Structure 1
Amino acid sequence: MQPFSIPVQITLQGGRRRQGRTAISTSGRKRNTDHNGGDPPDEHKKLPSSAGEDRAMLLGFTMMGFSVLMFFLFGITILKPFMLSTQREEANCTIIHTRITDDGMDCAFTCGVDCQGQGKYPCLQVLVNLTHSGQKALLHYNEEAVQINSKCFYTPKCHRDRNDLLNRALDIKEFFDHINGTPFSCFYSPDSQPEDVILIKNNFLFLINNVMLQTTKLKKSRH
């Protein structure tokens, strides 16, 4: 009977192949470890932030600063005047008479970088009658006009051309003279300063444009 030599040789050859693969794998890991300075490779190593991320962060901080600035500007220009304004109620007013005072009001204007001048603007006074109480009061354009100069209907922007300021005041006077006797809405303060009433409760300048438009129509109708 012959010994089973072939299976033994196959077993020995398979063992040699496994030892060879183990040696190759060990040597490969060793070379990789030596290449990384003795430390295992870190697959989750963080990458440095890119230039796009830096720009995005800078844009975010810029928008935050702009929002804070707009909040302060909104509070100063809108909320503060509204909170400080006098509480007024709506009523009906009729024009009694209008006049432009003889002595103008002093004002200052700028004519350049280092140039400042003194001028005068005409003071238009509009006397009205409160329909519900029969009380007489001075009419003002808005709350700001009362605070700047309580004697005049409005305070124009000062400049050196006094004739231009006078013509504007005359146009507004002509408009109110035309609606003399016609009731219109106004706002008065029942608690304080009942002698001062205002025409509008906001600070928009649409009234002046409306006055100029109506005056132009009146002039055209006369011709």
Structure 2
Amino acid sequence: MFLWAGSKGAQGSGHERRTIYQKIREYDILDKRKTVTALKAGEDRAILLGLTMILFSVMMYFVLGITLVRSYSDSVWTEESSCTVLNSTITTEINCTYSCGPDCWKSSKYPCLQVFVSLNTSGKIVRLSHNEETQDMSPECFYVPKCRKDYMAMHTIIMNISERLKMHQQVPCYHDPGERQDSVLLTRLYGRGAVFHSLFWPTCTLIGGTLIIAMVKLTQYLSILCEQINKIKR
């Protein structure tokens, strides 16, 4: 009777130990599953972040490509030189319109300042424009001010520009090396520096997004490789 009770107690204690061991194992498995789930969620967020950065950079490349880069590549005034101001006079008045409210437009005028310069590299006498936008809007005028109601304010702006050009007779200018244009520019809207700075941040975003995705994929590969090695050792 005693031996039977002793063997029964031993079996009970062994069963209790197995039960405790199973519970501990279940807790370990549950903790591992929670850890794996949290890691997988973090990896998914990182991949989503990387894809968003890549998509944003591609969109920026597209917008800059059809605006800034296209204007830069289409411009024929690519060679920088120096010019000597020969003449700076107001020749005529140009009509313009300004906004006076919603769906309200009124007419005004601004003086047309015509500037001729001598290209120092060739001695050719050409007309000087402020930039590509001015050349497209009014090829005969050096500068196109913002249209205003006050004519005297625009006249004062143009006269100040004329006086500065007369004071600084040697000015930098951009000309067409193929001599297809009979004018030169004082400044360019989009030069190499502007193009570089505009494309710099989208490029950084693209590289950053690509690196994030590559690091996540590398981490996943190394994790799978470690699991395979552990299974082989067991």
Same fold, judged at TM 0.5 (above): yes
Residue 87 of structure 2 is aligned to residue 97 of structure 1: yes
C-alpha deviations, 1:4-61, integer Å up to 9, x for none?
A: xxxxx9xx63x6434324246558989xx9xxxxxx8863545877xx96xx67x937
TM-score, normalised on structure 2?
0.59
- Specify the alignment match of 2:184 in structure 1: 197
Secondary structure of residue in 1 paired with 2:165: helix
Q: Quickly say closer, same or farther: Cα 1:144–1:26, change in 2 above 3 A.
A: same
Question: What is the alpha-carbon distance in structure 1 between the residues aligned to residue 8 and residue 33 of structure 2?
Answer: 34
Percentage identity across aligned positions?
31
Q: Which one has the bigger helix percentage?
A: 2
Measured after TM superposition, the shift of residue 191 of structure 1 is 1.1
- Specify the alignment match of 2:148 in structure 1: 159
- Specify the alignment match of 1:83 in structure 2: 73
Amino acid corresponding to residue 88 of structure 1 in structure 2: T
Equivalent residue runs for 1:1-223 within 5 Å: 13=3, 16-23=5-12, 26=15, 43=30, 44-46=32-34, 60=49, 66-104=56-94, 106-179=95-168, 182-202=169-189
Superposed CA RMSD in Å reads: 4.1
Native 8 Å contact 1:96 1:128 kept in 2: yes
Amino acid corresponding to residue 121 of structure 1 in structure 2: Y
Native 8 Å contact 1:145 1:155 kept in 2: yes
Structure 1 gaps of 5+ residues are 1-8, 34-39, 205-223
TM-score, normalised on structure 1?
0.62
Q: Which has the higher contact order (CA 8 A, sep 6+)?
A: 2
Amino acid corresponding to residue 131 of structure 1 in structure 2: N
Question: What is the alpha-carbon distance in structure 2 between the residues aligned to residue 101 and residue 200 of structure 1?
Answer: 22
Higher-Rg structure is 1
Question: What is the alpha-carbon distance in structure 2 between the residues aligned to residue 184 and residue 169 of structure 1?
Answer: 17
Q: Quickly say closer, same or farther: Cα 1:27–1:175, change in 2 above 3 A.
A: closer
Measured after TM superposition, the shift of residue 167 of structure 1 is 0.9
